[in-house]
Amino acid sequence: MARGDIPQDSYHLVGISFFILGLGTLLPWNFFITAIPYFQGRLAGVNSTAGTLGTNHTGPADTFNFNNWVTLLSQLPLLLFTLLNSFLYQCIPETVRILGSLLVILFLFALTAVLVKVHMSPGLFFSMTMASVWFINSFGAVLQGSLFGQLGTMPSTYSTLFLSGQGLAGIFAALAMLMSMASGVDAQTSALGYFITPCVGILLSIVCYLSLPHLEFARYYLAKKPSLAQDRELETKAELLQSGKVAGMTMPSPLAPDENGIPSSPQKAALTVDLHPEKEPDLGPAEPQKPRKPLVFTVFRKIWLTALCLVLVFTVTLSVFPAITAMVTSSTGPGKWSQFFNPICCFLLFNLMDWLGRSLTSYFLWPDQDSRLLPLLVCLRVLFIPLFMLCHVPERSRLPILFPQDAYFITFMLLFAVSNGYLVSLTMCLAPRQVLPHEREVAGTLMTFFLALGLSCGASLSFLFKALL
């Protein structure tokens, strides 16, 4: 088929489908962490069958450390399947991986909704919920990696749409929580409606995926050789993560490259000079040689500081969000504001400000890759850990409450979320600029690993900080 005969995306149906698929990949994580007060309510009382949406239960009855465990068991699968997914695509067909993952996630979310109506002991409920969290996020990791592979055969604008869908997942979950709480129905019905919402979202994702083969535009691009799509899966994940997303944190695209494939930046001239030694001398009509495969250690030496900054950013974020921040309550006493305080000021505010921070890198990148200010700014975020721990968390046993007013928590959350989004996006944009063009795939893969490592480290540290309260 000639280039002029490429079909058009009629009514933008393929773009809408990938947007919804992006939304569906991050719904599980966001719906579980936003509903932490509900789960804590179920675990706080033996006779409770429904817990209360939006109401914190963080006293001595919180013996299960639910918010810590849900964070850890959400991030460990990401780290594990980041390493394993490159082997899975060679053994399991792409359709089986994507459709199978969506069906398993749908079943487990439906089970979570059913458990709202089922009375059981807190210990059994905790075990079943943790098993669901582990398997949902395991299959979610496979789903994301497989969709990244499909996007490798599509125009780059569809990657942007996919990432946009992922970026809205957290806001969508927070709004669903608020609507469930404001519906005026009893707590049990409210919780049931909340968990049915992601089931509808996953069903819609399944419909979108099944519709792709019936759309001429999608058929044209997805009918590429399977081996080509498989070979590009890791490359596409690297590109998307440079532009991109992970575990609820979606970053905007870095500055576009120029016609020579070199990103526009003040360091362009230096990078161009570095490229000259890579050119092979003219050896006459010899057989063309393939570029040398970059060594992982060589690439790591160039980006190690940026990778370390990424690890520290996510370690700080996941060590207190949502494990500590979800425990903060309003100091105004019982009332509507107290009920809506955590969903609005913790989850909705975090997702909105994180999105704003990520968007800022579309307009400027500061500090640049050669500046020592980046490590300094990343290290300063460690201050958020004691600040949140000294906010209004009730029934603590060790640390005092130094910031009881709601305004303190809101201010800390604003700065915390904006800095998280901006610094994560900045490090992802700077990493590919620090290596040669043929090394960017390896750099993206390394940054993927360190990103998952930071998430897992932060989730593990949350147990320590919770114990220090």
| DSSP calls for 456-469 | HHHHHHHHHHHHH-
- The highest-confidence range among 47-51, 103-107, 234-238, 437-441, by mean pLDDT, is 103-107
Beta bridge partners of 250: 245
Considering the domain 10-269+293-468, what is its CATH architecture?
Up-down Bundle (1.20)
> Looking at the predicted structure, is the pLDDT value of residue 374 above 80?
yes
**Confidence category of residue 365, pLDDT binned at 50, 70, 90:** confident
> Looking at the predicted structure, is the pLDDT value of residue 195 above 80?
yes
**Confidence category of residue 415, pLDDT binned at 50, 70, 90:** very high
- Confidence (pLDDT) at 276: 40
- Would you say 434 and 368 are in contact if contact means Cβ atoms under 8 Å apart? no
- Average pLDDT estimate for 371-397: 93
**Confidence category of residue 271, pLDDT binned at 50, 70, 90:** very low
Between CA 277 and CA 280 the distance in angstroms is 8
**Confidence category of residue 262, pLDDT binned at 50, 70, 90:** very low
- Using a pLDDT cut of 70, give the percent of the chain over it: 78
- Confidence (pLDDT) at 225: 45
- Average pLDDT estimate for 210-239: 68
- Average pLDDT estimate for 451-465: 92
The helix or strand, by DSSP H or E, that contains position 218, with its residue range, turns out to be helix 216-222
- Confidence (pLDDT) at 202: 94
- Confidence (pLDDT) at 246: 46
Angle between helices 156-182 and 13-34 (to 10 degrees): 40
- Confidence (pLDDT) at 146: 83
Lowest mean pLDDT segment, chosen from 74-78, 133-137, 205-209, 210-214 = 74-78
- Average pLDDT estimate for 293-301: 83
Give the residue among 372, 356, 457 at the shortest CA–CA distance from 415: 356
The helix or strand, by DSSP H or E, that contains position 245, with its residue range, turns out to be strand 245-246
- Would you say 75 and 456 are in contact if contact means Cβ atoms under 8 Å apart? yes
**Tokens 């532009």 map to which residue?**
243
**Confidence category of residue 92, pLDDT binned at 50, 70, 90:** confident
> Looking at the predicted structure, is the pLDDT value of residue 257 above 50?
no
- Average pLDDT estimate for 129-153: 86
- Would you say 54 and 348 are in contact if contact means Cβ atoms under 8 Å apart? no
- Confidence (pLDDT) at 155: 84
Q: What would the two tokens of residue 179 be? A: 């609507």
**Confidence category of residue 265, pLDDT binned at 50, 70, 90:** very low
- Using a pLDDT cut of 90, give the percent of the chain over it: 34
**Confidence category of residue 261, pLDDT binned at 50, 70, 90:** very low
- Would you say 125 and 112 are in contact if contact means Cβ atoms under 8 Å apart? no
Lowest mean pLDDT segment, chosen from 125-129, 163-167, 303-307, 401-405 = 163-167
> Looking at the predicted structure, is the pLDDT value of residue 413 above 90?
yes
> Looking at the predicted structure, is the pLDDT value of residue 447 above 50?
yes
Mean of all residue pLDDT scores within the chain: 80
Region class of 248: left (phi > 0), else alpha (psi between -120 and 50), else beta? left
**Confidence category of residue 264, pLDDT binned at 50, 70, 90:** very low
Between CA 265 and CA 256 the distance in angstroms is 10
Give the distance, in angstroms, between the CA of residue 274 and the centroid of all CA atoms in the same chain. Answer: 34
- Confidence (pLDDT) at 293: 63
**Tokens 């009855």 map to which residue?**
61
Query: DSSP of 3-56, one letter per residue?
Result: GGGPPP-GGGHHHHHHHHHHHHHHHHHHHHHHTHHHHHHHHH-TT-SS--TT--
- Confidence (pLDDT) at 280: 44
Lowest mean pLDDT segment, chosen from 97-111, 141-155, 367-381 = 141-155
Angstrom distances, CA of residue 268 to CA of 79, 278, 405: 33, 16, 48
Between CA 162 and CA 20 the distance in angstroms is 8
Q: What would the two tokens of residue 240 be? A: 């998307």
- Confidence (pLDDT) at 89: 64
Between CA 208 and CA 362 the distance in angstroms is 29
The helix or strand, by DSSP H or E, that contains position 250, with its residue range, turns out to be strand 249-250
- Average pLDDT estimate for 74-102: 80
Between CA 45 and CA 158 the distance in angstroms is 47
- Confidence (pLDDT) at 272: 35
- Average pLDDT estimate for 162-174: 85
Between CA 46 and CA 186 the distance in angstroms is 19
> Looking at the predicted structure, is the pLDDT value of residue 461 above 70?
yes
- Would you say 33 and 322 are in contact if contact means Cβ atoms under 8 Å apart? yes
- Confidence (pLDDT) at 85: 66
- Confidence (pLDDT) at 258: 38
- Confidence (pLDDT) at 62: 58
Lowest mean pLDDT segment, chosen from 135-139, 141-145, 340-344, 402-406 = 141-145
Q: What is the DSSP secondary structure assignment for residue 257, as one 8-state letter?
A: B
Lowest mean pLDDT segment, chosen from 272-286, 294-308, 363-377 = 272-286
